[in-house]
Amino acid sequence: MLFSLHYERCCPSELRPGEGKRVPRDAAAKLVGYYIGCPKCGKPQILCSAPIDPIGPTFVETEGALVSMSKHQCSACGRSYSIVDGAFVDAE
């Protein structure tokens, strides 16, 4: 499943599985993290970047778009995943 970034959706609860929203919304502003809808269950979660949360994932962006994210486990369904080259990858 490909990861898609949405700026139009105003509320994280509107995100669909595999969609994300950057926090803050302005791509030029310092990255805080992302709201990401789990690709399995769709539950949106806020993931704070590692500089803000020491156990948070590491994000790699290109031109304001999320390209890669280190491993994360969904708190709702338990699926572990990462994002590599803009696509979700199961992580063990």
Give the pLDDT of residue 69. Answer: 94
How far apart, in Å, are the Cα atoms of 15 and each of 35, 51, 55?
8, 25, 24
Q: What is the DSSP letter of 2?
A: B
Between residues 88 and 62, which one has the greater pLDDT?
Answer: 88
Whose CA is closest to 69, among 82, 50, 54?
A: 82
Q: Is 72 left (phi over 0), alpha (psi -120 to 50) or beta?
A: beta
Closest by CA to 68, choosing from 52, 83, 46, 54, is 83
Range 69-75 average pLDDT: 93
Number of domains in the chain: 1
Q: Tell me the per-residue pLDDT of 5-59, one tens digit each, with 9 for 90 and over.
A: 877 767 888 899 999 888 877 777 788 889 999 999 999 999 998 888 888 899 9
Domain range for 31 is 4-87
62: pLDDT strictly greater than 70? yes
Q: How confident is the model at residue 76 (pLDDT cuts 50, 70, 90)?
A: very high
DSSP 3-state assignment of 28? coil
pTM: 0.83
Within a domain: 38? yes
- The answer to whether residue 92 sits within a structural domain is no
